Amino acid sequence: MSVLKVDYTNVLKFVSKEKINEYQEDALLALNKLVTKTGAGNDYVGWVDWPVLISPGEIEDIRETAEIIKEQSECLLVIGIGGSYLGARAVISMLEDYYPTKKGLEIIFAGHTLSSTYTVELLEYLRHRDFSINVVSKSGTTTEPAIAFRLAKELLEEKYGNEANKRIFVTTSEENSVLHSIAKTSGYKEFFIPKDIGGRYSVLTAVGLLPIACAGYDIYEILKGAMDARQTYSNTLFWENDALIYATIRNILYQSGKDIELLVSHEPKLKYFAEWWKQLYGESEGKDHKGLFPASAVYSTDLHSLGQYVQDGQRKLFETVINIVNPEKNIVLNR
């Protein structure tokens, strides 16, 4: 049973159940095309079945590599942009403590910005620490990661000499990848991204699993959860499939002129989950001058900046609120 539930009670003021029922056939057709890989863009929907296709050997290889990295390093520098880092950062941010009491491997992200200040300060920080690199890129030619990898690799070689190669871990495509050619020539440890999985959907491949494992989280349990979700959201009984209900309501609201979706949470740990969500929706739906514009907010902080617009601005957006029923920790204020 899914721990995620869609509560659409408040939207019934704007969208009737009868209207939702009218879209059932379209939703089920879309689900069928996704599952059978017969729709547009079907060359890149390998992520749907990946949780059951990934081999136990690959999972164990990722886990063992993470242990090696943890033994030899204080920091892991994950170099990537977009789908090459957002999924992993989202998971780690959701799971880690705000103020950790136990010192573990520090996960640092680079290659997602061209800020010279960020880069210089990062390199200076790493100069005084034992670190390893996980560079993630399907092509190896994306500008931001390529620059970050070049600079970080130079520092790594300066610090460790011939041993530097043992501290570089590459996640890339096996075919037609510049990064694969470099890794093969240099003898770096490699993991491969399946060719039928697009970058923004790759968090459950080595792209996300290696940094997540390095951060100390159980990737077996994460994949088990993904397997359960795959089964739950393949359900063709419309009113028992929350993913179909959510997708249908989004579509109806979009068709009625609501062209901005604001993903809201009250938990700062979900900030990077929202950033990942924006990439998934923005890159997948923003085509041919169509698609909802995905935006995000963390309340109550953003209520004091965006709240006025949400309440009294143009009536062109709707909110999807992530409500955590049972938070990890709670606090009671005495009267």
Question: Is there a single domain that holds both residue 167 and residue 102?
Answer: yes
Question: Is there a single domain that holds both residue 57 and residue 169?
Answer: yes
Question: Is there a single domain that holds both residue 183 and residue 243?
Answer: no
| Contact status, residue 164 vs residue 129, Cβ threshold 8 Å | no
Q: In what order do the strands lie in the sheet with 293-298?
A: 293-298, 260-265, 317-322
Percent of the chain predicted with pLDDT > 70: 99
- In-domain check, residue 332: no
Final residue of a structural domain among 185, 217, 249: 217
SS3 call for 237: coil
Please give the Cα distance from 51 to 181 (Å, whole number): 28
pLDDT at site 139? 85
Question: Is there a single domain that holds both residue 104 and residue 183?
Answer: yes
Higher pLDDT, 248 or 140: 248
pLDDT at site 2? 64
Q: Which two tokens stand for residue 276?
A: 């990942």
Range with the poorest average pLDDT among 113-122, 134-143, 249-258:
134-143
- In-domain check, residue 212: yes
Question: Is there a single domain that holds both residue 122 and residue 249?
Answer: no
By C-alpha distance, which of 180, 157, 177, 171 is closest to 66? Answer: 171
- In-domain check, residue 304: yes
- In-domain check, residue 305: yes
For the chain, give the mean pLDDT.
Answer: 95
Please give the Cα distance from 263 to 255 (Å, whole number): 19
Question: Is there a single domain that holds both residue 182 and residue 304?
Answer: no
Q: How many domains does the chain have?
A: 2
Question: Is there a single domain that holds both residue 13 and residue 141?
Answer: no
Give the Cβ contact number of residue 189 at 10 Å.
Answer: 19
- Domain assignment of residue 159, given as a range: 50-217
- How far is residue 241 from each of residues 6, 26, 82, measured CA to CA in Å? 9, 14, 29
- In-domain check, residue 109: yes
pLDDT digits (tens, 9 = 90+) for 195-236: 999 889 999 999 999 999 999 999 999 999 999 999 999 989
Question: Is there a single domain that holds both residue 155 and residue 245?
Answer: no
pLDDT digits (tens, 9 = 90+) for 170-182: 999 987 889 999 9
Region 136-162: mean pLDDT is 95
pLDDT digits (tens, 9 = 90+) for 268-293: 999 999 999 999 999 999 999 999 99
- In-domain check, residue 264: yes
- In-domain check, residue 223: no
pLDDT digits (tens, 9 = 90+) for 70-108: 999 999 999 999 989 999 999 999 999 999 888 899 999
Q: Which two tokens stand for residue 126?
A: 């790493």
Question: Is there a single domain that holds both residue 199 and residue 269?
Answer: no
pLDDT at site 1? 54
Per-residue DSSP letters for 54-90? Answer: S-HHHHHHHHHHHHHHHHH-SEEEEE--GGGTHHHHH
Q: Is the pLDDT of residue 12 over 90?
A: yes
Please give the Cα distance from 101 to 58 (Å, whole number): 31
Question: Is there a single domain that holds both residue 134 and residue 274?
Answer: no
Residues 6+ positions from 247 with CB-CB distance below 8 Å: 27, 30
pLDDT at site 140? 87
Question: Is there a single domain that holds both residue 199 and residue 274?
Answer: no
Residues 6+ positions from 41 with CB-CB distance below 8 Å: none
- How far is residue 297 from each of residues 94, 273, 319, measured CA to CA in Å? 16, 11, 10
- In-domain check, residue 306: yes
Question: Is there a single domain that holds both residue 209 and residue 141?
Answer: yes
Final residue of a structural domain among 190, 217, 244: 217
Q: 320 has which bridge partners? A: 263
pTM exceeds 0.75, yes or no: yes
Final residue of a structural domain among 161, 184, 217: 217
List the CATH number of the domain containing 276. 3.40.50.10490
Q: Which two tokens stand for residue 268?
A: 């700062």
Residues 6+ positions from 82 with CB-CB distance below 8 Å: 112, 199, 200, 279, 283
Please give the Cα distance from 64 to 206 (Å, whole number): 12
